[in-house]
Amino acid sequence: MLSLDFLDDVRRMNKRQLYYQVLNFGMIVSSALMIWKGLMVITGSESPIVVVLSGSMEPAFHRGDLLFLTNRVEDPIRVGEIVVFRIEGREIPIVHRVLKIHEKQNGHIKFLTKGDNNAVDDRGLYKQGQHWLEKKDVVGRARGFYQENRSVKDRNCKLLIRSLHWDCDDPHE
């Protein structure tokens, strides 16, 4: 039999201690999972933290920034707000700004989006035959972001959580 010295600690444990080690690992994983699910419940969004993947929202967001989202039913979507949405049939959510909204009396909304750094609106990205997005495509609205400090002098990460409440009159504040 091979002398596996590094397994000595495991061999010396009885059943209960082994089970406790397994449980310990399970609890660490569960804690992370429960924090994530808790965030999902609190914010109402199915993905409360997303990463910006493309440069289509520069100079506001750069690739690699983290966005914190909420998706509350009470807050209506307004023009100028930054939404994260998912197009039907595509896995990856997109972060763009709302350009136009059609709203019915009963609160039903159709809206059009465009990236700040793009030349045209997103109709080219939508599904074949789809011209507007609806509430069900929305993953959440951006409420804060975390950006690595880009100055040469200071490379440490600084937390910049700013409330992103954009006025309709002045979207490029």
Partner 1 sequence: MAAAAAQGGRTGGGGGSSGAGGGSSCGTGSSRSGLLDKWKIDDKPVKIDKWDGSAVKNSLDDSAKKVLLEKYKYVENFGLIDGRLTICTISCFFAIVALIWDYMHPFPESKPVLALCVISYFVMMGILTIYTSYKEKSIFLVAHRKDPTGMDPDDIWQLSSSLKRFDDKYTLKLTFISGRTKQQREAEFTKSIAKFFDHSGTLVMDAYEPEISRLHDSLATERKIK
Which positions are annotated as active-site residues? 56, 96, 122
Token representation of residue 121 = 């609106």
Q: Are 107 and 73 in contact (CB under 8 A)?
A: no
Q: Are 127 and 87 in contact (CB under 8 A)?
A: yes
Name which of 136 and 155 has its Cβ closer to partner 1: 136
DSSP conformation class of 32: H
Helices (H) and strands (E) in the chain, counts: 2, 7
Shortest distance, CB of residue 8 to partner 1, whole angstroms? 7
Shortest distance, CB of residue 148 to partner 1, whole angstroms? 29
Binding stretches for partner 1 (CB under 8 A): 1, 5, 8-9, 11-12, 16, 19-20, 23-24, 26-27, 29-31, 33-34, 37-38, 40-41, 44, 46
Name which of 19 and 58 has its Cβ closer to partner 1: 19
Task: Choose among 104, 105, 121, 101: nearest CA to 113.
Answer: 121
Shortest distance, CB of residue 40 to partner 1, whole angstroms? 6
What is the sign, positive or negative, of the torsion defined by CA atoms of 102, 128, 64, 68? positive
Q: Where are the alpha helices (DSSP H) in 13-96?
A: 15-43
Name which of 35 and 161 has its Cβ closer to partner 1: 35
State the Cα torsion 63-147-137-31 to the nearest 10°: 120
Name which of 26 and 76 has its Cβ closer to partner 1: 26
Shortest distance, CB of residue 125 to partner 1, whole angstroms? 23
